[in-house]
Amino acid sequence: MSEQEAAQQNAGQPAMHERCLCREVLEHLSLSPEIREHFTNCRIEFLKGIRAIIDSRIERLSRTSQRGAKIPVD
């Protein structure tokens, strides 16, 4: 089954979480809703941090001047 077919098949179903060791460990512990919310926010903030690193790298690479010299062609 192609990815597109799988996406169409799952379109009407609720979203499932990707497997994550941390999530699986937390599911087996008796945690209050407040603690679960804290870890959910933590994952979100971690991903935002990764996004900031990527954005910074893209910006830095976009600013670098071209290396090399222009050579006129006859």
- Distance between CA atoms of 15 and 70, rounded to whole angstroms? 52
- For the segment 27-32, the average pLDDT, to the nearest whole number, is 83
7 or 39: which carries more pLDDT confidence?
Answer: 39
- Distance between CA atoms of 64 and 29, rounded to whole angstroms? 49
**pLDDT at residue 52 tops 90:** yes
pLDDT of residue 70: 79
DSSP state, 68?
Answer: S
List alpha helices for 1-74, DSSP H. Answer: 3-9, 21-27, 33-63
pLDDT of residue 49: 94
Please indicate, yes or no, whether the overall pTM of this predicted structure exceeds 0.85: no
- Distance between CA atoms of 43 and 50, rounded to whole angstroms? 11
